[in-house]
Structure 1
């Protein structure tokens, strides 16, 4: 059987040592990320995923917002040192993709298909996960590292103000990406018998 997709998926790892040594142009990266999101499936083809792709000062602003917001949550400066180092690692990346769900579309489909109304938000989350994976894998295919963070909802208001985010867009994840400055460690898998059942 063909396993190109499986091999690409294996190459997609959480890379935390990210840098700015990127040869691709920002236009090429924008096209890659947009194409990955546009070509993933969504329930009823409702296309609920939205994204803001940030570079340069805008990328830095994302992680400055996260750092300042976390400063209010961490009890003391000593504890905050570890947080600062972690966020500095994300800021060292070349760019960040901010992923959102368009809640107006979710609500619209609830009205259009009331029989399935309770499912549309769950389905939007499935679409969001597929979009995350597609972008992440496309970046990995181009020898770029990434990881996925979830500082929402505590940064939602600040991100919305900083980037003029439509009120109907709900922040779901943040993906810093850039050059791979150190590889990921070994990946462990749980036992297949605990994870899969085969019915014939």
Structure 2
């Protein structure tokens, strides 16, 4: 059986990497397997299973970043847009994007069923979606991808929903763009563990 060391090494390997290309070290079927296994096995409060995932590859991925560029062009000041456009091109240069959603219909259903916790289910839904993001990101990293998590919601929500026929109850939370890396991730600074962890009874 794998040890916790193996798992922790995988966590350490996951980094933000913006330098990516439109090639893949694994077949598309393996990417889909990662998505499917994550959706099946990542936990959720009360087993609500409120997370939804959309995988866009190749031309569909490029279409997403064209949409995002057009949306931002309408709101970013002209003098600042060249830097924004350059960033969008770097994302479009990747191989794929994973869109992470929370299904608000499921959240509402859980609120009705367990009224005593009604105010908590939106937070718990967000927590589950975050765990899916982390699991997919880490798995893709282990397969040789570079990736970064982006947040252009709610600016792009309407156009994305209409383009791919996304259920209007699905609330977009983040986009994970990935591709074969062309460079190493940058350095990462850490706050001291003394500030972040407390242990009692050891």
Question: TM-score surpassing 0.5?
Answer: yes
Unmatched 5+ stretches in structure 1: none
**1:37 touches 1:134 (CA, 8 Å); kept in 2?**
no
Q: TM-score, normalised by structure 2?
A: 0.95
* Counterpart secondary structure, 2:150: coil
Q: TM-score, normalised by structure 1?
A: 0.96
Corresponding residue for residue 75 of structure 1: 77
1:21 deviation in Å?
2.4
**1:37 touches 1:135 (CA, 8 Å); kept in 2?**
no
Corresponding residue for residue 181 of structure 2: 180
1:75 deviation in Å?
1.2
Question: Do residues 88 (structure 1) and 89 (structure 2) align?
Answer: yes
Equivalent residues in 2 for 1:140-151, closer than 5 Å? 140-151=141-152
Corresponding residue for residue 126 of structure 1: 127
1:199 deviation in Å?
2.2
1:177 deviation in Å?
0.9
Query: How many residues are paired up?
Result: 199
Query: How big is the alpha-carbon RMSD for the aligned residues of Structure 1 and Structure 2?
Result: 1.1
Counterpart-to-counterpart distance in 2, 1:193 and 1:151: 34
Q: Describe the superposition over 1:121-175 as per-residue Cα deviations: whole angstroms up to 9, x where unpaired.
A: 1000100110000000110111111110010001110101111001111111111
Unmatched 5+ stretches in structure 2: none
1:189 deviation in Å?
0.3
Equivalent residues in 2 for 1:140-179, closer than 5 Å? 140-179=141-180
Corresponding residue for residue 61 of structure 1: 63
1:186 deviation in Å?
1.4
Corresponding residue for residue 17 of structure 1: 19
List structure 1 segments (4+ residues) > 4 angstroms apart after TM superposition.
Answer: none
Question: Do residues 115 (structure 1) and 116 (structure 2) align?
Answer: yes
**1:19 touches 1:179 (CA, 8 Å); kept in 2?**
yes
